[in-house]
Each structure stands twice: as structure tokens, then as C-alpha cells.
Amino acid sequence: MKSSYREALRAGIRDAMLRDERVFLMGEDVGAYGGSFAVSLGLLEEFGPERIRDTPLSESGFVGAGIGAALGGMRPIVEIMTVNFSLLALDQIVNNAASLLHMSGGQFNVPVVIRMTTGAGRQLGAQHSHSLEGWYAHIPGLRILAPATLADARGMLWTALEDPDPVLIFEHGSLYNVTGELDDDAGPVDIDTAAVRRPGNDVSLITYGGTLPTVLDAAGQLANEGIDAEVLDLRTLRPLDDAAILTSARRTHRAVVVDEGWRSGSISAEISARITEQAFYDLDAPVGRVCSAEVPIPYSKQLELAALPSVERILAAAREAVGARG
Amino acid sequence: MTGSADVPGSHLDPAHGRHLLLQMLRVRRLEEKCVELYSAAKIRGFLHVYIGEEAVAAGVLESLAPEDAVVATYREHGHALLRGVPAGAILAEMYGFVEGCCIGRGGSMHLFDAATRFFGGNAIVAGGLPLAVGLALADKMAGRSRVTVCFFGEGAVAEGEFHESLNLAALWQLPVLFCCENNLYAMGTALGRSESQTDIALKAAAYEIAAWAVDGMDVLAVEETARRAVDAVRSGGGPHFLELRTYRFRAHSMFDPERYRDKAEVARWLERDPIVLLRAAMEAAGQLSAQDWEQLEADADAEVAAAVEFAEAGSPEPLEDLTRFVYSERGASPETGAGGGE
Ligand SMILES: Cc1ncc(C[n+]2csc(CCOP(=O)(O)OP(=O)(O)O)c2C)c(N)n1
């Protein structure tokens, strides 16, 4: 069937609500407004205000309440409008959700799922354009997901809810309107492994989330130049699927990591380090990286575009890697 | 501590009345143009207009001195304009051009202007309140008798920062005037659906802050109350709080289908349009002729037309400047962020 990314997410939420009475959705404007990105549109009518629960502007409060409800036996889906506002809930996410299991000596697990929009590209200025999923991937105790395809948008949520520990799901704002074919029987998917979205032999382009379409675009153009790029979609940023990353890098002998986050201290740095630590002698070129410029994302269009990973910059990095063929 | 201001405005000076009318009209016309320009894709990103709420900024800002500071939200075009940021610089900012008040780095939600001590333009709900407290702390520590005015929506009241800021300001007796623009909705969430206690002035009073609720559609009432509050703050009376009861006539932003309120409610509030109200009152009192009104409209329109022309002639910042303004450029004089000092 035809579906948008947004509709696939909604189908995932609906499915979870129907499967398990303990599941409920809570967040700002998820109900009466219809969801700030219209993901939850229509769910209030179907499930009522107890289970599609509008919250005040109290990110720390309602994320903490979601963590508490999870401790109390519920299976909350907490929606934070965007990753930018998750910073107001950072204390609850890091000091409570991620730490309780450990601090309690394994007694209290926190089966909460926190969804949020991430990313830049819509001229929203610095305070609305962060890509901080890589930052969250720094935190032990959290599982970090970045659905980039319709099937993952549809299927990651249920598996995340079944996880006994906190899971954060990052939905890139540029993906909501992406439309395509979704299997009629699309359902839960694994949240452990990376996926090869395009097989290739010459260079591994490693990415996730909102930049996957850009990277696939670039790979298509590279094919015209006779460069056969493999595209690996990480899907899960914590724990990273080392095996998939290393298998691909060892096979193509060249890797370029594409990440909308800033480069310094980033998930791209982590991936690059793991490749050099574990596959150094298989490489024919240094690991390349295409990240956002180290600047708060500017409003003006030309500067924003220049700051973000682009097809051109990916092409350049891939060519450089391949050009360095030993 | 709480209570409504008495009804002012009976002895209005006609020239002053026309001035206030013009101030509100300037904001209205500029923002109507912004909406048009947004549809024409000249302005991008999020755009939140203040249409319907103009009496609040017009009344409050009237009582400030140039050395005072203003902190506002993403719905701040009117505050910037009335604080003295040129309309052209505001519009050019929304065009993303270097001629803008933040050289195009900020956009509609992030207007800043050191010259008028306008400290944004904050797009994180309640993010401006602690800043205002800090600005006021700096003034108090330096022995300056300045006032910091902080605007925010009633949605901010649910955030921890609201409560932390009010407590700090009261505890340290800081010269801040908190102005809560209560337009009844935070995006689609009605006040009664987000607060257990909907009397916002009462919350401020709980922090031992003098708090007054005002009809935010009556610019004269706003002005008079704000003047009293600003005077009290300036003379060392500690923080004050105004709850300005108003209404946003338009959608939350350009993407809001407005499923959460009905048209009849909007229509009822449209009858309390602050511009229409003042105009009618002045006409009834024989203080505003048809010719006067036409002149005001012509003045506001001319300013907007000039601003559009200015913005249209603007230019994009060169790409090689992308990573500027991440750290201060030593030796160079600050362009926008002159800080809270002199
Ligand atoms: C911390 C934070 N959470 C959520 C948002 C998204 N958001 C932007 S405006 C808004 C509503 C705020 O309402 P209110 O404070 O009443 O101001 P108004 O828009 O009515 O002027 C929301 C939820 C945000 N910008 N910041």
C-alpha cells in the first residue's frame, strides 16, 4: 500500500495501542491539535484523552512522568515535539531513564519509549535545527533508533516497546512527507542491526536517518561515474552494529560516514574510530566524514544548505576515498 | 497582592491616543505583509504573528526608557519594531539577508538588536525568563536603575524555568517586569487544559511578586498598568508581574489547521480587536477624524512599503562566512551581541 513516513509512524502507534492496553501516548499537542507534525492525527478520536494524553509545556515533568509510569508497569510512548526541547528533559533522560536499572542493582528497569523529531533543513534557525541523536548515543543505558525508511517507521516502535529498557526514537523532520510502498503486512522489525540499502563494492557510505535519501542520491550519481558505492543504514545508533559496519568496510576497503550532527565528538567520530581500531589493515584509504559545519544552524537558506551534508560533499568524499586506492 | 488595575483612559490626550493607535497599526500592517510574503516564499521557516495582541507590546513598551532591556519570544516582530528596531532590518532578517538585524542568521524567531537592548527572539518556550533574571541581576549588582521586561506566553507558565525564574527574581528582589501574554492557547492547548490553577497572577503572587491582571485588548489599560509597574520596579520595588489577557486572531504559525478552537470564539474576540476598540473610543470622543485615521494608515503603510523595498534590495551573506559568529572575533568590535553591559 502507499504510505507516507508520517502515516507509517501513525500505523505503528495505532498497532501498539491495539496490541497492549498498557501503551499510551503522551506529549505536547498530541491530541486536540492533532500532533505538531500530524503524526498522531485522529488517534485522540479513536483512543480517547486518557491514552492520547495532551500535556502542558513541561518537558522535564512529562518525560519524568513517562519514566515513572514505565516503572509503574505502563508502556508509555512519550512524544517530545522536537529534539531541541528534549534538552529541557535531559536530566530525566540521563539521570533517571538511563541510570535507574544500574543504580538499583538491576531491580528497576524502565520500559519507556521516547519519540522526537530531529534535524535541520527547513530554515528554522539554530534553536529548532539540532541533530543531537549522536549525543544521546553517548549514554549507556539508552537504545537510540533512527528510522529512515517507511518499514522502520512502521515497525521499530513495537519492538522498542517490548524492550525492557528506555528507547529513544529520532524521526528526521524531512522524512515525514516521504511517500512510498509499504507492505500490507508490514509489522515489527528488529532494532539491533544495520541494513545495506544499496550493495556496492568500491566504498561504504555509512549513514542513518534524514541523510539516507541524500546518500542514496549520491550513490546513484557515483554509479554513473563508475564508482560502485555501498550504502549502509545504521538504523540503531546505540548499540552500534559493529559487525555490519566492519563487514562492509572490510569488503570495500573504504568508508565515508555521513552524519548531520557536528563532527567534533560525534557518532561519526565513534564509527570512524571503530573502523580504524578493528579494520585498519583492510583499509585502502582514510575513513572520510561528511558532517554539518561546526556552527549553530543559520536561518538563511544558502548558509543552512552550506552547513549540512549535501550530495556534492558526499560525492567529493567518496571520490577522494576511491582516488586514494592503493 | 493580586488585583485588577482600575479602568484608565478617561482623560486621554488625543495626540497620545493617535500615537498608540499608530504603534499598533504599524505592527499590524507589518505582520499582514509578512503573512503575504510568507505565502510568496520570501520568508521561510516558522512565522508566528502577533495580530490581535498588539495592545500588549504597544502599551508595555511605551513605558520603557532606552537603557532598559527587553526579552521576548518567537512571536516578537511587534516588540522589536516598537522597541525601535527598524522595520526594514526586521523584514530583511526574515528574508535571510545581511541587511537584517541579525544578518540573516536568526530569522523571524530570533530578532536581536544591541542598539535597542532587544535580547531576542527566543524560540524555546520559557527560555527567555532566566535570561531576563540575569540581565536584571547584572543591573542590580552594578547599581543601575534599569528595568528588564520579559514577555512570554501563558504556555511558559507550565515550564520549570518560569517557576525558577520568578522565585529567583523575588528572592533577590531583581528589577524585572514579567509580562505574561495570556492569549489562552499554547499552540492547540487551551489554558484550562494545561494548568490546574488558571489564575496566572495568583501563581506570581505565590512567589511574593506584585501581580496584576490587565485587559490586554485595551492599550490604555495596558499602558497605565505597565507604567505603574515599571516605575515600581525602577524605584527598587522588586520584580512585578503583569498578566495581559489577550487573544491571537491568527493561527499559531503558518502551519496550524486550528482544530482546537471554533470560529465563533475567534469571531467574538475579533470584536475586541485592540485597534478597532481604541479607534472607536477616540472617534466617539471626537478625538479622531476620518482624516486622522487615513493619515495613520498612510503612515503605517508607507513604513511597510519602505521596509519591503529595503528587504527586497538585500543580499545573502557569502558562503565563506558560514562559520563566523561561533566564537567572538578577537579585536573586532561586536556586531550584534554587545552583551548586557554598557
Ligand atoms: C520548550 C519548548 N517546548 C515546545 C516548543 C514548541 N512550541 C512552540 S510555541 C508553543 C506554544 C507556546 O504557547 P505560549 O507560551 O502560550 O505562547 P504563544 O505561542 O501563545 O504566544 C510550543 C508548544 C518550544 N518552542 N519550546
Q: What is the pLDDT of residues A268-282, one digit of tens each?
A: 999 999 999 999 999
All CATH 3.40.50.970 domain ranges of chain A, comma separated, are 2-181
Average pLDDT over residues A35-43: 97
CB A125 to CB B109 under 8 A? yes
The reply to whether B130 touches chain A by the CB within 8 Å rule is no
pLDDT at B340: 43
Task: From the CA of B48, give the closest atom in ligand 1.
Answer: 19
Does the annotation mark A130 as catalytic? no
Asked, for residue B328, whether it belongs to a domain, the answer is no
Q: Of all helices (H) and strands (E), which one includes residue B153?
A: strand B148-153
Q: Whose CA is nearest to atom 8 of ligand 1?
A: B125
CATH number at residue B53: 3.40.50.970
CA quadruple B212, B215, B220, B222: dihedral, nearest 10: 40
CA-based nearest residue to B305, from B29, B85, B38, B24: B29
ipTM for the complex shown = 0.92
pLDDT at B10: 54
pLDDT at B330: 83
A31-60 residues touching B, CB cutoff 8 A: 32-34, 36, 54-60
The total of structural domains in chain B comes to 1
CA-based nearest residue to B162, from B114, B140, B119, B194: B194
Residues of B in contact with A301 (CB under 8 A): 44, 96, 316
Q: What is the DSSP string of A80-145?
A: EEEHHHHGGGHHIIIIIITTHHHHTTTS-----EEEEEE---SS--GGG----HHHHTTSTT-EEE
Span B227-286, pLDDT tens digits:
999 999 999 999 999 999 999 999 999 989 999 999 999 999 999 999 999 999 999 999
Average pLDDT over residues A143-163: 98
- Pick the catalytic residue: A7, A79, A128, A253? A128
Task: From the CA of B157, give the closest atom in ligand 1.
Answer: 15
CATH 3.40.1440.60 fits A195-323, yes or no: no
CB B158 to CB A302 under 8 A? no
The reply to whether A177 touches chain B by the CB within 8 Å rule is no
The reply to whether B105 touches chain A by the CB within 8 Å rule is yes
Ligand 1, residues at Cβ distance < 6 Å = A 28, 57, 59, 81, 85, 88; B 75, 123-125, 153-156, 181, 183, 185-187, 248, 252
| Interface probe, candidates A30, A57, A82, A294, chain B, greatest B C-beta count within 10 A | A57
Whether the pLDDT of residue B1 is over 80: the answer is no
Does the annotation mark A128 as catalytic? yes
Average pLDDT over residues B208-214: 98
Q: Is the dihedral of CA B74, B79, B84, B87 positive or negative?
A: positive
**pTM passes above 0.90:** yes
Residues of B in contact with A299 (CB under 8 A): 44-45, 96, 102, 104-107, 110
- Cβ within 8 Å of residue B267, ≥6 positions away: none
Average pLDDT over residues B211-234: 98
Average pLDDT over residues A1-30: 98
CA-based nearest residue to B223, from B23, B2, B1: B23
Asked, for residue B67, whether it belongs to a domain, the answer is yes
- CA–CA gap between residue B207 and residue B209 (Å, rounded): 5
Span B130-189, pLDDT tens digits:
999 999 999 999 999 999 999 999 999 999 999 999 999 999 999 999 999 999 999 999
Q: What CA–CA distances, in Å, run from B120 to B107, B110, B325?
A: 11, 6, 16
| Candidates A32, A36, A61; nearest CB to B259 | A32
Whether the pLDDT of residue A108 is over 90: the answer is yes
Span A195-210, pLDDT tens digits:
999 999 999 999 999 9
Percent of chain B with pLDDT over 70: 94
Q: Of all helices (H) and strands (E), which one includes residue B83?
A: helix B77-83
Architecture label for domain A2-181 = 3-Layer(aba) Sandwich (3.40)
The count of C-alpha atoms lying within 13 angstroms of the C-alpha of A105, restricted to the half-sphere facing its C-beta, is 0
Asked, for residue B4, whether it belongs to a domain, the answer is no
Asked, for residue B342, whether it belongs to a domain, the answer is no
Percent of chain A with pLDDT over 90: 99
Q: What angle do CA A36, A38, A42 make, to 5 degrees?
A: 125
| Candidates A57, A293, A296; nearest CB to B159 | A57
Q: If you measure from the C-alpha of residue B204 to the centroid of ligand 1, how many angstroms do you get, rounded to a whole number?
A: 20
Average pLDDT over residues B97-124: 98
pLDDT at B342: 38
- Cβ within 8 Å of residue B39, ≥6 positions away: none
The amino acid at A325:
R
Span A292-303, pLDDT tens digits:
999 999 999 999
Q: Which domain holds residue B72?
A: 14-321
Tell me which of A28, A37, A55, A57 to substitute to probe ligand 1's pocket, judged by most ligand atoms within 8 Å of the beta carbon.
A57
The reply to whether B158 touches chain A by the CB within 8 Å rule is yes
Span B128-146, pLDDT tens digits:
999 999 999 999 999 999 9
Q: Is the dihedral of CA B332, B320, A206, A180 positive or negative?
A: positive
Span B45-76, pLDDT tens digits:
999 999 999 999 999 999 999 999 999 999 99
Q: Whose CA is nearest to atom 18 of ligand 1?
A: B153
Span B2-27, pLDDT tens digits:
443 344 455 789 999 999 999 999 99
Asked, for residue B183, whether it belongs to a domain, the answer is yes
Tell me which of B73, B125, B244 to substitute to probe ligand 1's pocket, judged by most ligand atoms within 8 Å of the beta carbon.
B125
